[in-house]
Amino acid sequence: MLSDTVFTLLVAVILLVSQCYSFPPDSTGDYDLRTAGQGAERTTGTTTTTTTITTTKTTTTTTITTTKTTTKTTTTTRTTTTTTTPAPEVDREWEDLVLAGPTVVNYLSLFMVLASRKDQNVTAPAQYTVKYLSNIQSLRSILIRISAEMRITFELASDDLIRTQISMEQIPDHIKAGLVLIQSAPNDLLAKLLPYTLRNVDRAANEGSSITKPTLQRLMTLGLWFDELVTLLNSTLAAAAVADKNHAEETAAYAGDIKKQWNLLIRLFQKFSDRADLTQTSVSQNFIDLIDKAQKSNELSTQAQRKTQLDKLIPVAIAIDQSSFLLDMMSRTYNEISKDHMATQITTSNNYLKAANESTRAKYQRQLWQNTLEQSIKVARLAQDRQNKFAETSPDRQTMYSAYAQSVQAT
């Protein structure tokens, strides 16, 4: 029994050392890990692996829900926004949204094939101030600039998602280390190492959440460019001469199609951000706060107390592991798709503006529509395969975490 205890403690120390965030040696004192201004409600369905988590975030803007809480003579008003995120195993919308990446690149290339026929002066509506697009006298110049911004956005998004993956990978390791400590560590060692472990999981969750915000903002900003382009081209269509009407209609239609696909891509990255926020909130409020409360109440001292706390923590740990693993998987899949079907294509898209005759344009159009179809099939199959493999991990995850409630020790 003693050797088993030493072994499990050694495993915990290895996890702590290998995944730490370089906290100074003297930083293991009191540490308030609570997150102010946030609330979370967690409900579990008919099985322990189906978990839906609803997060409630405090905001300073006007929102849909106002809750008043009165205690004796004091009334406090809190304004909240409620966002419901599906349980990981049923959160399959991303499989459709991820198709928008390759599609929007192909649509932009098709737009450039059309623009190669002739350049076009873009007409702004009366009393409209152009905010995002410059040199509206040349549609080709606008498309070249959009292509460059899109390429930069894709590159930065991939870099940020790699960092998100790193954070999401660390969360389950830190949680497992904490559970091992609660399961087997002597009381004095538990008091020293558990706060350190909680800091690490808190840091990983916070970093994963914060990393997703700049990427989402960049996509939303470029989305405003497409909104403005649609506005300008619709105005141009309205003012076009009869001879230019067909060409103006096609350009306006392409701009509208690109805008729709880009909005789907924004929704995908909003889903990434929501999943990261959900994971962070659950780590903070459903895992760290529970342990923090138990420590402060001296409820981790005996074998029975630890068993009780582990029974509470294990379902939470499973839900957090699922959520972080899902975001890790979605991020990896997107980056593979971006590398194979988006990065190179957007870099060479400007070449389509050089099409010199109608036969070349027709060839380019056939190629691009064929690419759109083939890539959509490949991407859909890849996303479905990844989601199915993710679902297959649930039974093993349940078995693995349940083992932490066995052989509980306290000395």
CB 142 within 8 A of CB 282: no
> Is residue 72 included in any domain, yes or no?
no
User: For the whole model, what pTM was predicted?
Assistant: 0.79
> Is residue 58 included in any domain, yes or no?
no
CB 51 within 8 A of CB 318: yes
Helix, strand, coil shares of the chain as percentages rounded to 5? 70, 10, 20
CB 120 within 8 A of CB 139: yes
Return the sign of the alpha-carbon dihedral for residues 56, 295, 166, 24.
positive
The upper half-sphere exposure of residue 200, i.e. CA atoms within 13 Å in the direction of its Cβ, equals 27
Q: Which domain holds residue 94?
A: 2-9+87-405
> Is residue 81 included in any domain, yes or no?
no
Helices 139-184 and 187-239, axial angle in degrees (round to 10) = 160
271, containing H or E segment: helix 245-281
Cα 178 from chain centroid (whole Å): 25
Using CA atoms, how far apart are residues 338 and 343, in angstroms rounded to an integer? 6
328, containing H or E segment: helix 303-341
Give the pLDDT confidence score for residue 137 in this predicted structure. 86
Give the pLDDT confidence score for residue 66 in this predicted structure. 34
Using CA atoms, how far apart are residues 97 and 159, in angstroms rounded to an integer? 20
Question: Count of domains in the chain?
Answer: 1
Using CA atoms, how far apart are residues 60 and 79, in angstroms rounded to an integer? 7
Return the sign of the alpha-carbon dihedral for residues 161, 164, 170, 175.
negative
CA dist 176 → 156, 261, 268 (Å): 32, 40, 30
CB 86 within 8 A of CB 111: no
> Is residue 110 included in any domain, yes or no?
yes
Give the pLDDT confidence score for residue 244 in this predicted structure. 86
> Is residue 353 included in any domain, yes or no?
yes
Each of the 411 residues of the chain gets a pLDDT tens digit; together they read 444 454 444 444 444 444 443 333 333 333 232 333 333 333 333 333 333 333 333 333 333 333 333 334 344 333 333 345 666 656 789 999 999 999 999 999 999 999 999 998 899 999 899 999 988 889 999 999 999 999 999 999 999 999 999 999 999 999 999 999 999 999 999 999 999 999 999 999 999 999 999 999 999 999 999 999 999 999 999 988 888 889 999 999 999 999 999 999 999 999 999 999 999 999 999 999 999 999 999 999 999 999 999 999 999 999 999 999 999 999 999 999 999 999 999 999 999 999 999 999 999 999 999 999 999 999 999 999 999 999 999 889 989 998 888 877 766
> Is residue 204 included in any domain, yes or no?
yes
Using CA atoms, how far apart are residues 227 and 103, in angstroms rounded to an integer? 18
> Is residue 43 included in any domain, yes or no?
no
Using CA atoms, how far apart are residues 4 and 58, in angstroms rounded to an integer? 45
Per-residue tokens: 135: 């040199």
> Is residue 46 included in any domain, yes or no?
no
